Amino acid sequence: MNYSLASSTWDGKELKAIQAVIESDIFTMGKKVAEFEKDFAQFVGAKYAVMTSSGSTANLVPAGFGNAHLVRSREAVYYYKCAYKGEYMDAESQFTYAWNDERIGIDWGIKNPILSQRDVLATREKG
C-alpha cells in the first residue's frame, strides 16, 4: 500500500481565494481579514475579534490593547510584539489584568490555570 506524503485537497473555490489574495498584494491584515474578524465577532457574540495566524508567529499587539492566551498543550511558546510610540521598554505604562477579572468576562473553561509570574501577581493584586 502506498500513501502520498503530500497532496492537495483544495478545490477550485479555495484556489480562487488564494489567487485573489496574491493579486491583491496584501497578504496579511487585508480586507478579507477585517471582514472575517467582524463576522466572527458577531458569530460568537463578542464586540471585537482579532484574527491571528496559527500561533507559531509573532502577533502585533496595538497600543491600548491587551493580549491573552490559553494553552492546552504541555508546552507552548507565545511570541508577541507591542506597538509603541517612543521607547519600546516603557514598563511603567504596562499593566496586567488577572486572568479571571470579571471586567473582561472571558470564560476560559478552566478553574486552576498554571500562570506566569506576572499573572500570579495580577491575581494577588485583584483580590
Cell of residue 102, nine digits:
470579571
CA distances to 9, 20, 46, 55, 76 from 36, in Å: 22, 15, 13, 17, 26
Interatomic CA distance for residues 50 and 52, integer angstroms: 6
As a whole number, the mean pLDDT across the chain is 75
Mean pLDDT computed over 68-97: 68
Interatomic CA distance for residues 121 and 58, integer angstroms: 25
Q: What are phi and psi of 59, to 5 degrees?
A: -110, 135
**Confidence (pLDDT) at 91:** 61
Interatomic CA distance for residues 69 and 122, integer angstroms: 15
| Of the candidate ranges 42-46, 65-69, 107-111, the one whose mean pLDDT is the lowest | 65-69
Mean pLDDT computed over 21-42: 82
Residue 56: pLDDT above 80?
no
Mean pLDDT computed over 89-95: 65
Closest CA to 67 of 52, 56, 54: 52
Q: What is the pTM of this model?
A: 0.42
**Confidence (pLDDT) at 53:** 63
